[in-house]
Structure 1
Amino acid sequence: MYNKVKFLNAGDSALVMEFGNEIAKDINAKIATVVENLKKKKVDGILDILPTYRSILINYNPMKISHSEIVDILTELSKLNSSNQSDDVRLIEIPTIYGGEYGLDIKNVAEHAGMSEKEVVKIHTGTDYLVYMMGFMPGFTYLGGLDERIATPRLKSPRLKIEAGSVGIAANQTGMYPLESPGGWQLIGRTPLKLYDDTKEPPVFIQAGDYIRYVSIDQKQYDKIKNEVENGTYKVSIKKVKRGDLHE
């Protein structure tokens, strides 16, 4: 974490508040504190607040609020103690079928780790992952906390098509593809949940600051959940838990 936050221009109606140059929980906690308190302020002229791994992008209307006014507000918020974060967090369970046609690269991950595919699944489902940020497409999750034992480099040649719901690993990150797209992550499984649904408001039920817990399911469970999702009868498990009860 920087000793002092940096403010960077991002055009004439946006700025970046940068906290450090690494992926770290203390940086994420500081970002979460600033974002939470900035939203509470409901500052007229601020249009959007987008947290990332180590910074916050703020879009604003320069006709209503100036760059310097926003910097003053953010500077004050940066002085807040991040240890005062709420002890309650949202834990979202993601049912996932691993291996086979759904996890084409789980063998690669297992061989790279020097373990069996079952061991990879056990390790992957044994951690609750912090959602550091939402990524390059609506609903794409960048999760922290992947066990180093199963960290695996990206594919040398990205795929042109990855199915929506695919769960993958890229170096020391894990995450999910909400929509069909190209990509180079090592695919280890797939969830039948709709991670992005433009018929709902909001269309994405996962937020930065949430925790994700993967739950291993079999083919029968996958088909059942997929059918319920398509019929609109499936209810995603989202619980409020204490930070101390998380598996990190």
Structure 2
Amino acid sequence: MILKATDLSKSFPIENMESQKILSNIQLTIEKGEFVSIMGASGSGKSTLLYTISGMTKPTSGVVEFSGEQLNSLSEDHLTDLRLNKMGFVFQQANLLKNFNLRDNIVLSGYLRKMEPQKTIDKRADTLMKQTGVDHLASKDITQASGGQLQRVSICRALINNPEIIFCDEPTGALNSKSASEIMTLFNEINQTGTTILLVTHDAKVASKTERILFMSDGEIISEKYLGKLAVDSTPRDREKQVSEWLEILGF
């Protein structure tokens, strides 16, 4: 087990109201090496769940355990170090620094970590960019790459410190179908090396590439389904059809 949430709830203050509950008594366990997706309608709480279990926002109640530590009890500095050293993040938008070239965007987190020589980080960045097919863009800025290429760079950035887990919030949401498929193939390759991935998506095709799917509604996990690892001989259309059928049964 790499991540566990127990009785997790999250509320936000609303003007002229006491609060609005976004998450309600979530029970969740993620095993090391899993590839899990979270699905649900807009407003179901799936992104809030991702941010809360990654320590980006604190729960109102409940406990989050990651890699043997209770995130609730950690100081902000400790949480920052934990995210830098053991977690990677990929969002719908690449969120790259416009005054840095693409390679510098990748190595920055490694330099900030100050645990390895810069030459080691530089070499890893070059390897990651080559593996993801963006090495020819190393000296380019964010205006000189496509959306799919920028997302590949953001994945390299997420991997630069060899994280134990990668949290992804709609990582293919702004991409065309071809780029989205390429990004999911890349995520599966990363997962096969042992990296745990937790991904939020509204897309059945994207979810069908993951191992297990959690379905959310009104701040609760109402169902979960297991698809198994995406094997070389598996049939993507059958997996996608299965996910679509589950969504229909659940009323999504």
Same fold (TM over 0.5): no
Higher relative contact order (CA 8 A, sep 6+): 2
TM-score, L = length of structure 2: 0.25
Higher CA-based Rg: 1
Richer in strand (by share): 1
